[in-house]
Amino acid sequence: MAEMFKKNGKIKENKQDLYSYNQLLVDIRSILDRGLSKAYKAVDNLKVQTYWQIGERVVREEINQKRAGYGEEIVKKLSVDLDIHERTLYRVVKFYNIYPILTTVLSELSWSHYLVLIDVKNDHHRKFYEARTVKESWSVRELKKRITSKEYEKARKKGEITIRLPRQLPGPEDVFKESYNWDFITLDNQHTENELEDALLNNIQKTLLEFGCGFAFMGRQQKVLINNNWHKIDMLFYHIQLKCHVIVELKARALISGDIEQVTKYLTYFRERKMQQDRDPIALVICKTHDKIDVYYSAGKNRDDIFVAEYKVKLPDEEDIKKALVKES
């Protein structure tokens, strides 16, 4: 990290570091913009999810760089550029490190609750306070009071320790992202859908990690017969927690209305052939850019089962492009 910043906070002329930091800054601004514009049921729940995404992105950047002190310096720089207090960013990172799996974050708890809980060092104690807060609807003040009065120790003496909550399966809106970061593949800006698909399949393990927990890959270019015409689905998954097929269509361009019509056919096909214990299938269209309002009206009655996301890949650097041009000439 010391190589990237001067003492006065200015970035040194290191193109690779500058590109990496600028990309990080763009990503986090995008997370903030997306998070603050969405109409979740509760504002606090939105804040929790937004902060979790920021924490995940900062930690991922720190892991990728593998430099001593990088995380500390990156937080200082982000604090200035995003106008967010350093202490808040440190808490966001701490929050993610304690809750690295998003589905373990409880929608019933506010960000203020989590600010109290992340200071509870013992995992078992923390889970106890989580469960009791949800079960008894403790306010933040009440939660602090119970921790200070050692509620866990009192309950343990009485044999009243409960840390389990009724299991709630995630909904589709908790599973699918608005943007997928495929920076583990390098493609030029004019890449085709076939090139994108090949690159993802050649890195299927990393692809699954970016999709998230629960995705099981079933195949590529899956054939389906609709009205005596064969169609091919780019990638087919089954989501173990949602218990449904996930149809993934890749578009190496901006979304057009015909893309929604295409996946609507696929949804009907799989809906008519689903197993009795399965829920209705879900379609995920991943493209370069899209208009949310256009998607909303194009999807119509199917909007609960059609998700649209954007993607990013790593672009070749200038030297690689020059070498490729020399070879072609």
Residue-wise DSSP of 144-188: HHHHHTTHHHHHHHHT---------PPPHHHH--SEEEEEEEE--
Q: pLDDT per residue over 179-217, tens digit each? A: 999 989 999 889 999 999 999 999 998 898 889 878 889
pLDDT recorded at residue 106: 85
**Which residue type occupies 17?**
D
Token pair belonging to 167 = 């299991």
Q: Give yes or no for residue 105 having a pLDDT over 80.
A: yes
pLDDT recorded at residue 231: 94
Count of CA atoms in the C-beta half-sphere (13 A) of 312? 11
In degrees, rounded to 5, the angle at the alpha carbon of residue 103 between the alpha carbons of residues 100 and 104 is 65
pLDDT recorded at residue 327: 57
The answer for residues whose C-beta is within 8 angstroms of residue 245's C-beta and 6 or more apart is 218, 236, 237, 238, 239, 270, 274, 278, 281, 282
The residue with greater pLDDT, 310 or 68, is: 310
pLDDT recorded at residue 97: 93
Greatest mean pLDDT among 5-9, 60-64, 182-186 lies in 182-186
CB atoms within 10 A of CB 229: 8
State the pLDDT confidence band at 29, using cuts at 50, 70 and 90: confident
3-class secondary structure, 306 = strand
pLDDT recorded at residue 325: 53
3-class secondary structure, 218 = strand
User: Which residues, in sequence order, are bridge partners of residue 308?
Assistant: 285
Token pair belonging to 53 = 């995404």
Rounded to an integer, the average pLDDT of 163-185 is 78
**Which residue type occupies 46?**
L
Count of CA atoms in the C-beta half-sphere (13 A) of 108? 15
Q: What dihedral do alpha carbons 101, 105, 110, 112 form, nearest 10°?
A: -50
Residue ranges of the alpha helices (H) in the chain? 15-37, 43-65, 70-82, 86-98, 111-117, 123-136, 140-148, 151-158, 172-175, 193-202, 204-211, 257-272, 292-299, 318-328
Q: Report yes or no: 126 and 146 within 8 Å, Cβ to Cβ.
A: no
Round the average pLDDT of the chain to a whole number and report it: 83
CA 96 to chain centre: 12
